């Protein structure tokens, strides 16, 4: 059985929380061996049989109403829409979007935390222009809307995901045609990836490097077992504490304004493409 829906983005916009929420529902199948499969980006040449092995067979799939997977990188690769269209079972898409300026700063914090990055945010922007590009949501969504109908997409706004979790669950359930009451009560905002700055950055970065290598070597089963046994909370207890204020300063106001002006045309186009209101993201623009 191949997926009936895909989560396609974006990084640092609550996708881990969404994956966990979806996986908690008894009528939704989500991959157990690997959270982000990256088939349509990194592994497409391995063929459909390689992809199929991450999903249930027909007998097991009959116990579920929908089958899905969540790989945020799918939004950023223009090859993905046509590749996905070749799999007729995929009929729905989930997309969580976040203020592109805040998403960008969160990506910087991730680099500080997981890669022991020591330079400023401004240096990060100069060194990683692709991270700036990832906030151009309209540009990346266009190829999908040329390939699929707008009604096939549920677009969520990160800022609303956790303010009313009941409404979020009901919205997702209505889109996927499942019972919202079957989501367990313990899947709350506390399970999303909170900002975490390690006390011992070098050691934490080394541990994260090992985890990345395990993913590269397709040791997903072993890694999944470790994560289910509490690997993430253990690393946080071992290496540090939560709270970005300890390492990351507030973004410089001139940098924030410059980025807000950069993204403003994209936000306008995104509103036109989706029919949604993203005016809250425009608060950093000069009057």
Spell out the domain ranges in the chain.
Answer: 5-195+243-282
Cα separation of 132 and 148, whole Å? 26
pLDDT of res. 32 = 83
Mean pLDDT of the chain: 86
pLDDT of res. 96 = 98
Cα separation of 209 and 197, whole Å? 16
pLDDT tens digits along 206-243: 555 555 465 555 555 555 565 555 565 655 555 555 44
The pTM of this model reads 0.82
Low-confidence stretches of the chain (pLDDT beneath 70): 186-247, 287
193-203 in b/e form (b: 16+ CB < 10 A) is eeebbbeebee
Question: Can you tell me whether residue 66 is helix, strand or coil?
Answer: strand
Q: Per DSSP, what are the bridge partners of residue 206?
A: none
pLDDT of res. 69 = 97
pLDDT of res. 241 = 53
pLDDT of res. 75 = 98
pLDDT of res. 222 = 57
Domain 5-195+243-282 grouped into CATH 3.40.50.300: yes
Question: Can you tell me whether residue 242 is helix, strand or coil?
Answer: strand
Cα separation of 143 and 79, whole Å? 9
* Contact in structure between 67 and 7 (CB atoms under 8 Å): no
- State both tokens at 272: 């036109």
At 94, which helix (H) or strand (E)? strand 92-97
């Amino acid at each position: 059985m191949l997926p009936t829906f895909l989560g396609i983005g974006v990084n640092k916009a609550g996708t881990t929380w969404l994956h966990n929420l979806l996986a908690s529902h008894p009528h939704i199948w989500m991959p157990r061996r690997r959270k982000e499969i990256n088939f349509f980006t990194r592994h497409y040449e391995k063929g459909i049989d390689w992809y199929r092995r991450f999903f249930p067979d027909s007998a097991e799939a009959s116990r579920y109403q929908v089958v899905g997977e969540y790989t945020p990188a799918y939004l950023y690769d223009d090859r993905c829409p046509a590749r996905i269209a070749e799999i007729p079972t995929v009929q729905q898409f989930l997309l969580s979007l976040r203020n592109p300026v805040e998403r960008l700063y969160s990506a910087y914090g991730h680099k500080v935390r997981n890669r022991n990055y020591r330079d400023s945010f401004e240096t990060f922007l100069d060194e990683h222009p692709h991270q700036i590009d990832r906030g151009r949501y309209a540009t990346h969504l266009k190829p999908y809307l040329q390939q699929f109908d707008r009604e096939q997409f549920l677009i969520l706004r990160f800022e609303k995901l956790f303010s009313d979790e009941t409404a979020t669950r009901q919205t997702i359930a209505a889109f996927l045609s499942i019972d919202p009451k079957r989501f367990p009560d313990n899947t709350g905002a506390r399970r999303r990836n909170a900002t975490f700055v390690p006390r011992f950055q070098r050691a934490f970065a080394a541990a994260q490097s090992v985890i990345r290598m395990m993913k590269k070597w397709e040791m997903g089963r072993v890694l999944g077992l470790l994560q289910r046994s509490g690997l993430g909370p253990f690393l946080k207890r071992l290496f540090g504490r939560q709270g970005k204020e300890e390492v990351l300063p507030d973004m410089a106001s001139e940098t924030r304004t410059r980025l807000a002006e950069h993204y403003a045309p994209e936000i306008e186009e995104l509103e036109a493409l989706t029919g949604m209101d993203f005016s809250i993201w425009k608060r950093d623009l000069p009057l």
